[in-house]
Structure 1
Amino acid sequence: MLKHVYRLMIELTNGRWSSVILRRFARSRVSRFVVPSFAKIYKLNQNEMEKNLNEYPTLHDLFIRTLKKEVRLVDKNENSVVSPVDAVIEDVGSINETSEMLVKGKSYSIQEMFGSEHTVTKYLNGTYMVLYLSPSHYHRIHSPADGAIVKQWALGSKSYPVNKMGLKYGVRTLAKNYRMITEVNTASGHIAIVKVGAMFVNSIEKTHQGMHLRKGEEMAYFSFGSTVVLLFEKGIFKLDSSIHTPKDIRIGEKIGVLVKGNSGAY
């Protein structure tokens, strides 16, 4: 019963006032009473947490928890691209000439996702990867590669579910939901890291300062669960042979390698 309540709260809420109420509850001291049941129902790995369960004063603090440094190892290969999140890889594929990607049988426009005709051009015929974070996952986002931030912007207002049902039956959720986009110039070319909100606005908080990113370095966190879409410029990314869908993945694990692309200097 409680699991259905939590799922309704975290994954399926999209109204302005219901989201405001949920955020206030999750950040209130009262919510500490549901921390143990939330951890139990979603089978959180308490051995990985930086703090003991009784040290989280609110549900929100538990949700944005940090982990012990040694529990996530980042692939050290110079050209490797790593997962930016603990997640399930739901889909991988090519972006076509009309800027569309096909996810769960539905077409999504990269141009609509970016909100920019100019930005999308370099990603045509490139690669996309969709990573879904469930309520049980660690919700901090890390950089998939070394590089320099070209620009960062946010679009959208309301956010609808981005779980399997949301992707299958929702209305262009990945392209229309509230989203924060970080475009990074690597030694091989450009990567766009699209952080897609699963609720109303302000579900994504930046933590990184400055314009340079190191592979595995924390960038941001989701206050409430969501999805990350990685977009790679044409010709710069080769998918690792071990990747299939769906696939459970953790931060720092190799998802592919960067190859020589069209740009490169950073």
Structure 2
Amino acid sequence: MKTRIFKSFVELTGSPVSSALLKKLTTSRISKPLIKPFASFYHIQVDEAEYPIEQYTSLNDFFTRSLQAGKRPIDSNPMNLISPVDGVLSDSGNIDPHQQFNVKDKTYSLHALLGDSEKAARYMNGYYYLFYLSPRHYHHFHYPISGTLVNRYALGSTSYPVNDLGIRMRDDVFSSNHRVISELSTDFGHIAIVKVGALNVNSIRIANSETTCVKGQNFGHFAFGSTVILFIEHHEAFRPEEMPFTEVQVGDRIGEWQY
């Protein structure tokens, strides 16, 4: 009975009506009294926020907060790959031709995530990282390496919570969710940054349309739950850091190209 109720709740949160209602509530001044309880419940480090907590006008305004300058030092070595987000590095590994991505006991194909077999083929034998962002994390995403933006496109239309409950309840959660894929051409090959929206608001905000990408540059944010997956094209010199289930922050080294 409980599973049935939870499943119906998860599917309800993917409806256009509930999405619109949630977005209206969280972006309204009506939600301002929820900010402090929200921050306390999730143990958010409010001292890092760009402004004092009292200055945020809505829950969404606080959730999508920027940080004070210098709070995320960026590894400046051009050979190092950095984390694009604050979150938990919940999975990583090599991509083989029959790769199935195991995310909390569920499996997904590279083709389903990228929506195109030719695009997926580029990353075969490469490497991937999967980051989960909880409500307590800073929700902006940054470029993990410098390069040129060669492709950006969106897939999916319905979002479900990307968390334990959402993934248990729906086998196709990633292939159904709204996501924005950015592909970079770098000195070390191509990198795909997959931003997966969650909590039904389909809210992935891209900051600008510039094609020059600088490592550490903030290029957008999520409104509410989210996951980011990096796909690294195969390169003989690439050496990933082995760090599953590790808390990481923007700017932390997660791999390097060794020559």
Question: Shared fold (TM-score greater than 0.5)?
Answer: yes
Shift of 1:101: 2.5
Q: For residue 127 of structure 1, report the CA deviation from its aligned partner.
A: 1.1
Q: Could you tell me how far 1:44 is from its partner in structure 2?
A: 1.3
1:166 to 1:127, Cα distance in 2 relative to 1, 3 A: farther
1:215 aligns with 2:191: no
Q: Does 1:257 align with 2:256?
A: yes
Task: Return the alpha-carbon distance in structure 2 between the equivalents of residues 214 and 205 of structure 1.
Answer: 18
1:225 alignment counterpart? 225
Question: When the two structures are superposed, what TM-score results if normalisation uses the length of structure 2?
Answer: 0.90
What percentage of residue pairs aligned between the two structures are identical?
38
Q: 2: distance between equivalents of 1:258 and 1:122?
A: 18
Distance 1:188 1:215 in 2: 13
Once residues 141 and 153 of structure 2 are traced to their aligned partners in structure 1, the CA distance between those partners, rounded to angstroms, is 16
* Pair 1:14 & 2:17 matched: no
TM-score, length basis structure 1: 0.88
Query: Counterpart of 1:138?
Result: 138
Distance 1:95 1:102 in 2: 12
CA distance in 1, matches of 2:169, 2:202: 24
1:199 corresponds to: 199
Q: Is the 8 A contact 1:235 1:259 kept in 2?
A: no
Q: CA deviation at 1:193?
A: 0.2
1:248 to 2:241 alignment:
no
Partner of residue 159, structure 1: 159
Query: 1:195 deviation in Å?
Result: 0.1
What is the distance in 2 between the residues matched to 1:107 and 1:35?
Answer: 35
Question: How far apart, CA to CA, are the structure 1 residues paired with 2:257 and 2:164?
Answer: 29
User: What is the Cα deviation at residue 99 of structure 1?
Assistant: 4.8
1:80 maps to which residue? 80
CA distance in 2, matches of 1:38, 1:199: 16
Rounded to whole Å, the distance in 2 between the matches of 1:223 and 1:112 is 23
Aligned twin of 2:46: 46
Tell me the equivalent position of 1:32.
32
CA distance in 1, matches of 2:201, 2:232: 26
Deviations 1:172-191 (A, max 9, x none): 32233110000011101011
Match of residue 184 from structure 2? 184
Report the Cα offset of residue 109 of structure 1: 1.0
SS in 2 for 1:47: helix
Alignment partner, residue 264 of structure 1: none
Supply the distance in 2 between the matched residues of 1:167 and 1:79 (Cα, whole angstroms). Answer: 35
Q: Which amino acid aligns with 1:39?
A: A
* CA RMSD across the alignment: 1.9
Per the alignment, residue 175 of structure 2 pairs with 175
Distance 1:92 1:40, change over 3 A: same
Hey, what's the Cα distance between the residues in 1 that align with 2:147 and 2:172?
Answer: 29
* Secondary structure of the structure 1 residue equivalent to 2:46: coil
Partners of 1:161 and 1:37 lie apart in 2 by 21
**SS state at 2:48 partner:** coil
Distance 2:231 2:170 in 1: 21
What CA distance in whole angstroms lies between the structure 2 residues aligned with 1:164 and 1:190?
31
Mean Cα displacement is larger for which, 34-43 or 140-149?
A: 34-43
Query: Residues of 1 paired with 2:104 and 2:147: CA distance?
Result: 30
The separation in 2 between residues aligned to 1:184 and 1:52, in whole angstroms, is 35
Question: Contact 1:91/1:246 (CA < 8 Å) preserved in 2?
Answer: yes
Could you list the runs of 5+ residues in structure 1 that have no partner in the other structure? 1-8, 261-266
Rounded to whole Å, the distance in 1 between the matches of 2:36 and 2:88 is 24
Shift of 1:201: 5.2
2:20–2:201 Cα contact (<8 Å) kept:
no
What displacement does 1:165 show?
3.7
Query: Where do 5+ consecutive residues of structure 2 fail to align?
Result: 1-8
Q: Which secondary structure does the structure 1 equivalent of 2:111 belong to?
A: helix
> How many aligned positions are there?
249
